[in-house]
Amino acid sequence: MPHGRPPPPFPGGRDAFPQAASTVVPDPARFFAPALLSSPLPTNSFFQNFVLKNGDQPEYIHPYSVRSAAAALTLCYPARNHSPSFVIQTFVEDLTVSAASDAAAAAAGQRHRVAAFDDLSVTLDVSPSLRAFLVRGCPFVTVATADAAGPVDISVASVHAFIEVASCDDALTKWRLRMNSGQTFLLYASAPIRLAQSSVTQLSAPGFSGVIRVAYLPDPSMEAVLDQYSRCFPTAGEASLNRPFCVEYTWRKQGWGDLLMLAHPLHLRLLSEDCCVRVLDDFRYRSIDGDMVGVVGDSWVLRTDPVSPTWHSMRGISDDGVGEVAAALRKDVDALASSSITTTSSYFYGKAIARAARFAVIAEEVGCPDVIPAVQRFLKATVTPWLDGSFQGNGFLYEPKWGGLVTLQGSKDTGADFGFGIYNDHHYHLGYFLYAIAVLAKIDPSWGRKYMPQAYSMVADFMTLSRKHGASYTRLRMFDLWKLHSWAGGLTEFADGRNQESTSEAVNAYYSAALLGLSYGDTHLVSIGATLTALEMLAAQTWWHVREGDTIYEDDFTGNNRVVGVLWANKRDSGLWFAPPEWKECRLGIQLLPVLPISEALFPDISFVKELVDWTMPALSREGVGEGWKGFVYALEGIYNKESALQKTRALTGHDDGNSLTNLLWWLHSRGTADDGVVGFSRCCWYRQYCH
């Protein structure tokens, strides 16, 4: 796709599924400006807490945690608590900015309002007098007085005692605020501001009109840099996916001079050498995601290596393994005729149909085309009712308040379908359906054409790129273009912010969308799916996979964990939603399932795979460990010790409901030798002419 051309919309709209009258989603009109309500709204964004319940839970807008409540904006440069089982950032009211004229609004419980939002920022009308430009990765928090408010009396408060409040220039536009906590904040103003200390914890400034910028000072040596870039501030930002395997950031700014922002570790890894920015290696802010480093420039280009989504294994199945895989395949396919899917859960149903779809693809690879018609009949019988509305007990519906798919059960019960009705886990559930649909459309093109509108609506629910008014679905519902991975939390308020447990199921979603693009000959969908797949995998390797000696997290946590259980915006937890930290086999499994050709690109480092398996293996001796979870451990062991893994896999008496003996044998017999400790996943990209 040529540079700069906006991506075409997916051909799936709100009419592909019946409209729902949900009784469980909250009313977005409580927090969003009226002009925003006519378009689909984000349901899993970095500022989601601001628009749920009372809107007063903080959100982590790197490098600060920010809370808006009682007509005031509070920021915190968070400290971390840690142990062998968790790392967590704690919120403390370091500085609170408010306007005295808004006291009546605060007393009346008037809520803030989201005036604008985009991929990289949210503009919050905190009160009638104050507007905050909250831009991710900005070392300053920027607050402006409202034009209509005129000069307002500003209050700056802290939970700490101020031990120094000093003007740093004759113009009264820079102040140093030092506290008994040991912290120092710098306050910059676009016009003279006369701060006076009214109490140990309270400052006031009369009659101010303009822009205030507040920055924490981690080290005295960084003050000159903050001074230099204090007069240019971002008001909004856009992340573009106009080229495959490339994300471009562009910020809108006001003021004078160059723009200073902060990059997290994955940004720095992907920052292209040909973009006009300057990296300030010694300018660093602490973050739960690793040190954030200063970058000067109002436009960034991030590039990742191409990953080509393929139906089959990279190297093919070894000659001595074809017979064993084929025998298991015939047995598993025969069992489809005598088994039915009894669950009505969209998640478990999706896993079951994706499991069956794997048989058709593996049959192609081992030369058993005669079993494919049986798989085709099973998939048509089980997938079609969810697409034509005839499934009994559940189904997909379009919910218009926020703009997205929900399930029939989820439209009435927040707990049904793991919260799908309040936009939780959409990429997980839909990813499994899309894999089955992609396979069925591949082997039965006429069926694929008939149900293309429903298939594309399921893609569009979580992969829409359009920002246009009148779109059916919000932009990239689950994927965070600043963190470069997905979140799964939906319309639920969490004190620790957004969260995601399974990175591999997120990878499956974007990979399956790319396969759907292959089935329909849609290079745009293949490109977007492959790009998001590549980014999700890199983020998983950066923040979920914990290698011995890594320095992102504290030593006690790193030493005790080889993989994160649930990753939150403000927390890293070794426990899972469904299992305690000691169930290491579940932690490994939830970061691997489902086992697919793309899985080897998710785990390319053999030395880390061995660390992870060695760390997990002792847990398998615990009484009651599920056979299905053992299978995932053996799958990873097979990357470096195929024969041992095969022996253990053959002895399994059961498999995960989305897995099978056929799939595990396919995986193990398609493992080969690797050079230099890195799995040889193909980086060949058949649409390379579109790449950078």
Same domain membership, residue 222 and residue 335: no
Contact 554, 546 (CB under 8 A): no
Helix (H) / strand (E) containing 289: none
Provide the domain limits for residue 118: 41-230
The mean pLDDT value for 574-578 works out to 97
Same domain membership, residue 452 and residue 340: yes
The mean pLDDT value for 226-255 works out to 98
Evaluate whether residue 289 is within a structural domain: no
Contact 474, 403 (CB under 8 A): yes
C-alpha distances (whole Å) from 422 to each of 27, 44, 568, 578, 593 are 12, 10, 18, 19, 24
Evaluate whether residue 26 is within a structural domain: no
Q: How far apart are the first and last CA of the chain?
A: 10
Evaluate whether residue 312 is within a structural domain: no
pLDDT for 77 equals 98
In this structure, which amino acid lies at residue 164? E
pTM of the model: 0.96
Evaluate whether residue 593 is within a structural domain: yes
Active site residues: 425, 501, 505
For residue 124, pLDDT over 70 is answered with yes
Same domain membership, residue 395 and residue 503: yes
Same domain membership, residue 496 and residue 630: yes
Confidence of residue 7 (pLDDT cuts 50, 70, 90): low
Same domain membership, residue 383 and residue 485: yes
- What strand order describes the sheet that includes 299-303? 232-243, 246-255, 299-303
Same domain membership, residue 72 and residue 205: yes
Q: What's 544's domain CATH number?
A: 1.50.10
**Residue with the two structure tokens 């980086």:** 683
Helix (H) / strand (E) containing 584: helix 584-590
Same domain membership, residue 327 and residue 219: no
**Nearest-10 crossing angle of helices 523-539, 503-520:** 170
The mean pLDDT value for 62-75 works out to 98
Q: What are 124's strand-pairing partners?
A: 114, 132
Evaluate whether residue 181 is within a structural domain: yes
Q: What's 166's domain CATH number?
A: 2.70.98.30
pLDDT in tens, 362-408: 999 999 999 999 999 999 999 999 999 999 999 999 999 999 999 99
Contact 441, 448 (CB under 8 A): yes
pLDDT for 688 equals 33
Instruction: Report how many domains make up the chain.
Output: 2
pLDDT in tens, 628-666: 999 999 999 999 999 999 999 999 999 999 999 999 999
**Residues sharing a CB contact under 8 Å with residue 87, sequence separation 6 or more, in sequence order:** 80, 81, 288, 553, 554, 557, 571, 572
pLDDT for 467 equals 86
Comparing 118-132, 565-579, 672-686, which segment has the lowest mean pLDDT? Answer: 672-686
Q: What count of Cα atoms within 13 Å lies in the side-chain half-sphere of residue 335?
A: 14
d(CA 141, CA 122): 12
Q: Could you tell me which of 504, 370, 351 has the C-alpha nearest to residue 435?
A: 351
Evaluate whether residue 354 is within a structural domain: yes
Same domain membership, residue 628 and residue 484: yes
Contact 480, 486 (CB under 8 A): yes
* Domain closes at, from 202, 230, 258: 230
Comparing 90-104, 223-237, 614-628, 665-679, which segment has the lowest mean pLDDT? Answer: 665-679
* Domain closes at, from 230, 262, 279: 230
Other residues' Cβ atoms within 10 Å of the Cβ of residue 37? 12
pLDDT for 682 equals 41
Q: Could you tell me which of 549, 547, 621 has the C-alpha nearest to residue 585?
A: 621
Q: Is 235 left (phi over 0), alpha (psi -120 to 50) or beta?
A: alpha
Question: Which 8-state DSSP code applies to residue 529?
Answer: H
Upstream peptide bond of 594 is cis (omega within 30 degrees of 0): yes
Same domain membership, residue 475 and residue 364: yes
pLDDT in tens, 434-476: 999 999 999 999 999 999 999 999 999 999 999 888 899 999 9
Question: Which 8-state DSSP code applies to residue 541?
Answer: I
Between β-strands 278-285 and 174-179, what pairing exists: parallel, antiparallel or unpaired?
A: unpaired
pLDDT for 684 equals 35
Same domain membership, residue 476 and residue 624: yes
pLDDT for 576 equals 98
Supply the mean pLDDT for the chain: 95
Evaluate whether residue 300 is within a structural domain: no
Contact 464, 11 (CB under 8 A): no
Same domain membership, residue 552 and residue 416: yes
C-alpha distances (whole Å) from 639 to each of 355, 435, 596, 664 are 21, 24, 13, 12
Evaluate whether residue 481 is within a structural domain: yes
* Domain closes at, from 230, 255, 286: 230
